[in-house]
Every structure is written in structure tokens, then in C-alpha cells.
Structure 1
Amino acid sequence: MTTYYFHVDNGEFIPDGDGVDLPDLDAARQEAVRAAGEMINESKRSFWEGMTPWIMNVTDDENHLLFTLQFAAKAPSGNALYIPQTEADHA
């Protein structure tokens, strides 16, 4: 088992001093996504109103940077339509 640390910067740097013991990198990736979703949910409106990207840097127990997640909410500046593209549009 390796201890993985999930350091967050959401406008305020929040270091992970405890870490989580996980079996491998894939488990750390899954935990990062789960934790990010939980943080967004717990933030209530501040995530949606701030429109500031959040960053999660994931390190191992030797402080090697393994990967970074960036997530942000964006709202259109005016009246916008979403028109999905089909595979034919890409040809």
C-alpha cells in the first residue's frame, strides 16, 4: 500500500496532512474523482458562484507529483444555445 495525498487549492491552499492508503495509482485516481465530487457538493453555492478553477495535486508518500485534477464551473456570458456535434460534423 502507498499513502496518497490529495492537496487542494480552491482559492485557499488546503494541504492533505493525513493521506489515504490505497493499493495503486488507479485507486488514487478513483479517490481523487470521488473526493472532488464530494468537495463540490459540500461547497454548495461557493463553487458555482466563484467561477475560480479548483486544483487537486495528488502526491505519493515521497511527495512525487503523480497527477493534477482541475475543475471549474463556467456560465455563459449571455444567452447561449448548446448544439451538440455529431460524428458527421467531424468528418
Structure 2
Amino acid sequence: MPRYYFHTENGDRIRDDQGEELAGVDAAREEAVTVLGEILRYRGASFWTTRSFSVIVTDAEGQTVVSVTASASDTAPEGWRLSEAG
């Protein structure tokens, strides 16, 4: 099974030197979302300080295979509208 490394970035970079053996890229995607969710849950309101947090997944050769980022803002995304239910 291939080994994937889950590095994090929020102004500070934390390198994952252990990695995790997973079945493939789809499993790495799922794990990246899980890792990001756990980090955001742990950080709580302090997430607003950095306003962005990323999990970057690399393979054994150091190539990026997955990247997922959560960002925070005090405004809605461009083009977002709340449509009224009829």
C-alpha cells in the first residue's frame, strides 16, 4: 500500500514525517478532509486568527496528490445569494 503524508499549513508549516499507508488517492482525499475537520474542531474560534488552514498530502516521492483548504471570512462568497423558498 502506498504511504501518504499529511502536512499542514496555517501560517506555520507542520511537516508529517510518519505518513500513513492508505489504499490510494481516494482514501487520501477522505483522510485529508477528516484531518482538516479534526484540526478545525480542535482550534475552535482561534481559526479566525489565521483565517485559513490547509492539509497538503504528498506521496512517498514528495509529490502533492491532494490539497484541501478551509478559509474564513466575515463576508459571503462572491455570487452567493439566499433564495427564498416558494
Same fold (TM over 0.5): yes
Give 2:55's aligned amino acid: M
Work out the CA distance in 1 between the residues paired with 2:69 and 2:9: 10
| Structure 1: gaps of 5 or more residues | 87-91
Give 1:53's aligned amino acid: S
Q: Check if 1:59 corresponds to 2:28.
A: no
Following TM superposition, by how much is the alpha carbon of 1:62 offset from its aligned partner in structure 2, in angstroms?
A: 1.1
Work out the CA distance in 1 between the residues paired with 2:32 and 2:84: 30
Aligned pairs, how many?
A: 82
Work out the CA distance in 2 between the residues paired with 1:39 and 1:21: 20
- Structure 1 moving runs of 4+ over 4 Å: none
TM-score by length of 2: 0.82
TM-score by length of 1: 0.78
Match of 1:26 in 2: 26
Work out the CA distance in 2 between the residues paired with 1:30 and 1:12: 23
Give 1:73's aligned amino acid: A
Contact 1:11 1:52 (8 Å CA) reproduced: no
Look at both structures and tell me which one has the larger radius of gyration over its CA atoms. 1
Following TM superposition, by how much is the alpha carbon of 1:57 offset from its aligned partner in structure 2, in angstroms?
A: 1.3
| Structure 2: gaps of 5 or more residues | none
Q: Check if 1:15 corresponds to 2:15.
A: yes
Following TM superposition, by how much is the alpha carbon of 1:17 offset from its aligned partner in structure 2, in angstroms?
A: 1.0
